[in-house]
Structure 1
């Protein structure tokens, strides 16, 4: 690959699962920015939010994203809010191809509703919060270089295969054929 593939989108869109499979298929490194933040802080994102707040987390997220983008080309999964910061979008544009994994609100809710690891959903109305975040973030996610619409019920393998086909067709200079 000549540049990073950076997966963006809402929590529950499948950025980590699809990113792992896509990286395996392309035989390139996979990095999850949230996992990298947790490893560096030696605490969960929920704990970071509780102890230091969202602004602190977002600053660390930008630092980690910059470090990942400075490495060899691979697939990077970002947190749902990372793309909202203009400086993150600029860093990604300079070194990668941004891909919005777009899912229906129903699919997102099915995937995140039972997970206590989503600090932004720790509200009295988590589904309403998710829908509000999706409405706010959608126009900014649409600034990505590519949009990939997930289909409910597809396996991770089928989804990453469709994504790879879409990327190869739209960006043949990005991905060389693998023997």
Structure 2
């Protein structure tokens, strides 16, 4: 069974929606950032501090490769996963859902979170989000099998919306996994 991989900018709801979708479909759920933290024993800002963004991105690629060995999982990725060509190649054999969220909404959702290294130190976090969106939006679209607008929905409604869209495009992926 194919994996369902969620991509999109920080604050799009990938982890929250992914966890809800995995529960609904009775599939295992993984979050690349959380798995990196779990396996290294340190948080993402610490990795950025000691290894820089390049070091973090290498870890992210290795984690993506590892998680894609799962079958039938729901995987939430970090916002920058699409920047490396090797990651985009890895995503080609998965069912990728792009949760597209306007920069205004991203800013509203992330402005108080100091654990996001790419915006925590920015002089103008909103402008930084806009820059990231300009670079990454075309890359998200390149890898996406399905794009869903993620503005202003409650989690339960967003999860149902993802499942409804899957039901139309790939009904085989929206069937709950059998127990056992």
Question: TM-score range, shorter-chain basis?
Answer: over 0.9
Query: What's the counterpart of residue 145 of structure 1?
Result: 145
Equivalence map 1:127-146=2 (5 Å): 127-143=126-142, 144-146=144-146
Deviations 1:61-105 (CA, angstroms, capped at 9, x unpaired): 0000011000121100000001221111111222x1111000121
1:49-128 aligned at under 5 Å gives the runs: 49-94=48-93, 96-121=94-119, 122-128=121-127
**1:169 corresponds to which residue?**
168
For residues 6-45 of structure 1, the aligned pairs below 5 Å read 6-45=5-44
Deviation string for 1:4-63 (max 9, x for gaps)?
100000000000000000000000000000000111111100010011101110001000
The structure 1 segments of at least 4 consecutive aligned residues displaced by more than 6 Å after TM superposition are none
Once residues 54 and 10 of structure 2 are traced to their aligned partners in structure 1, the CA distance between those partners, rounded to angstroms, is 18
- Structure 1-normalised TM-score? 0.94
Partner SS state of residue 79, structure 1: coil
Partner of 2:46: 47
Going from structure 1 to structure 2, the CA distance change for 1:178 and 1:47 (only over 3 Å counts) comes to closer
After superposition, the Cα gap between the structure-2 partners of 1:116 and 1:177, relative to the gap in structure 1 and judged at 3 Å, is closer
Structure 2: where are the runs of 5+ without partners? none
Structure 1 residue ranges without an equivalent (≥5) = none
| Aligned residue pair count | 176
TM-score normalised by L of structure 2: 0.94
Q: Contact 2:98 / 2:140 at 8 angstroms: preserved in 1?
A: yes
